Amino acid sequence: MPDDDDFLLLNPGPVPLSGNVRRAMDEPMVSHRSAEFEATYERAQQGLDYVFTQSTLDDHSHDSNGTSLILNGTATMGMEMAVANLTDAESDVVALVNGKFGRRFKRIAERHARVTPVEVEWGQSFDLDAVEQAVADADLVTMVHNETSTGVLNPVEAVGELTAEHDALFVVDGVTSIGGDVFRVDDWNVDIAITDAQKALAAPPGISALYVTERAADAADGDSAPFYEDLEWHLRKADDHQTPFTSSVPLFRALAVAVEEIREEGMESRIDRHRRQSQAFRAGFEALGLKRFPDIEPPTSLSNTLTAIELPDEVKAAPEEFFGAITERNVSISGGQAHLGGQIFRVSNMGHLSSAQVLRGIRTVGEALNEVGVECDVESSIETATEILNK
């Protein structure tokens, strides 16, 4: 399934595409109001229902009546759509912030409602007592499941119990978890879940998806939202496998194929593979003498879809040389965002990565470190990671 091109894309999105997903974008154009397009949208919705609810895991029976819908815009649009339709200027929103995307959700909410942030340092765990206190008076809570800026997997299930207890709506950004890790819209009391096409769904960038429960649909007020983001209108059209406006036909086609590939692999095996690969990345980098970045406490855990690693002090002094040595090897990884720039690097294992590609990622980082004068044993880190991948 993975491309055999020499270029290795390890950024936390966009991620490499399978050949079939790529080819889906290269078919003759049809009208976005045609029966062919509706069939494509419906295929994508069926795959998305599966990914959002993960109804076949552990014999869990799926009793949700929610709707999967697709947006002509990336997940930031979905985040705004969720908040704008469920709040007004008199609403109290609690925004949980422990990284860049939690902060983005807070900023979005500030444009629409009164916001109380529960904020900890980027990469740290939330104190659930502090969350509970804040949630007690909230109308709506925003949270990021997998914080892409730090590699932290936040405890959505635990916060969902609190929002349910206090009858607050719960809106969750699952952009870098949904499709690569466990995510249970129903069991976790999530009212709207949001994901991007170009992350763990392994589709091209430009569109995103929402899962909207009946409770959220009942609470939505489309008139309070920007015209393009009227949730009631989107839900009406989604029932007919349409969007209100012109759909990006090639991207919807690619998404339909991508979610079908997820179904073929099966969420359980896909999640197992992601866990193994992220463990291999972490163990391989640690065997190179590197320190993983986040400092977490249960029930917060480390991400299974991306790994953040602290740069050694020598590299922090001149990070561009290290990142240049990676690029020269035809591999692309990410640095830190905002104040974490020059402090950490991040690699993704979202999508269809093979074991060989994970090992190449570790080897590339090891070789780049040696090239910039940080001595490390590349071969033994490859052995460590290989053992985990072969488990």
Binding stretches for ligand PLP (CB under 6 A): 13, 74-76, 101, 144, 148, 173, 175-176, 196
Cα–Cα distance list, 301 to 140, 150, 152, 336 (Å): 24, 11, 6, 19
We find the least distance from the C-beta atom of residue 294 to ligand PLP, in angstroms, to be 14
We find the least distance from the C-beta atom of residue 197 to ligand PLP, in angstroms, to be 9
Distance of CA 388 to the CA centre of its chain: 24
350, two tokens: 């979202």
Give the residue with the Cβ less far from ligand PLP, 94 or 178: 178
Distance CA(113)–CA(133), nearest Å, equals: 19
We find the least distance from the C-beta atom of residue 13 to ligand PLP, in angstroms, to be 5
We find the least distance from the C-beta atom of residue 382 to ligand PLP, in angstroms, to be 29
Give the residue with the Cβ less far from ligand PLP, 117 or 366: 117
We find the least distance from the C-beta atom of residue 101 to ligand PLP, in angstroms, to be 4
We find the least distance from the C-beta atom of residue 208 to ligand PLP, in angstroms, to be 7
Give the residue with the Cβ less far from ligand PLP, 186 or 196: 196
Map tokens 């999640």 to a residue. Answer: 271
Amino acid at residue number 9: L
Beta bridge partners of 92: 114
Give the residue with the Cβ less far from ligand PLP, 179 or 366: 179
Give the residue with the Cβ less far from ligand PLP, 191 or 372: 191
Q: Per this entry, what is the length of the chain? A: 391
Give the residue with the Cβ less far from ligand PLP, 225 or 376: 225
Give the residue with the Cβ less far from ligand PLP, 88 or 157: 157
We find the least distance from the C-beta atom of residue 175 to ligand PLP, in angstroms, to be 4
Q: What is the DSSP string of 245-287?
A: S---HHHHHHHHHHHHHHHHH-HHHHHHHHHHHHHHHHHHHHH
Give the residue with the Cβ less far from ligand PLP, 250 or 289: 250
We find the least distance from the C-beta atom of residue 173 to ligand PLP, in angstroms, to be 5
- HSE of 40, CA atoms in CB hemisphere, 13 A: 27
C-alpha dihedral over 94, 156, 158, 272, to 10 degrees? -170
Degrees to nearest 5, angle at CA 351 with 241 and 62: 50
Contact 247, 313 (CB under 8 A): no
Helical residues (DSSP H) of 123-266, grouped into ranges: 128-135, 156-165, 214-219, 231-239, 249-265
Degrees to nearest 5, angle at CA 73 with 68 and 78: 55
